[in-house]
Chain A
Amino acid sequence: MSGRLTGKDALNTGTASGQGRAAALLFSAEGATVASTNINAEGAAETLALVRDRGGRMDSTRPLDLNDEDRVKAWIDATAAAYGGCILLIGSTAGLTGSLTNPRIAHTATKGDPLAEDHPMRTIACAIPLGRIGTPEDVARGVLFLASDEASYITGANLVIDGGWSAVLPSAS
Chain B
Amino acid sequence: MSVVVVTGAGQGQGAAEARRLAARGVTVIAVDLGAEPAEDLAAAEYRQLDVTDEGGWAVLAQDLAGRFGRVDGLVANAGITWRARLLDVTPADLRHVHEVNVTGALLAIQSVTPLMTHGGSIVLVGSAAAVTGHFPVAYTASKWALRGLAKAACLELGPRGIRVNIVHPGYIETPMTASAAPAFRAANLAETPLGRTGTVEDVAPLVAFLLSDDASYISGAEIAVDGGMTSHGGVKSISDAVRA
Contact = CB atoms under 8 A, between A and B. Distances in A.
A124 interface: no
Instruction: Give the interface SS of chain B, mostly helix, strand, loop or mixed.
Output: mixed
Contact of A164 (B163, B170, B194, B230): B163
**Residue in A142, A154, A156 whose Cβ sees the most chain B Cβ within 10 Å:** A154
B221 interface: yes
B59 interface: no
Interface residues of B, number: 39
A167 B227 contact: no
Nearest to B20: A150
Interface residues of A, number: 33
Given A160-B221, A168-B154, A153 B226 contact: yes
Nearest to A160: B221
A75 interface: no
10 contacts: A129-B219, A141-B216, A142-B214, A151-B206, A151-B225, A155-B194, A159-B218, A164-B164, A164-B219, A167-B219
Interface of B: 150-151, 154-155, 157-159, 161, 163-164, 170, 193-194, 198-199, 202-203, 205-206, 208-209, 214-228, 230-232
Interface of A: 97, 128-132, 134-135, 138-139, 141-142, 144-145, 150-168
What 3 pairs across the A-B complex have the smallest Cβ distances? Answer: A167-B220, A156-B231, A129-B158
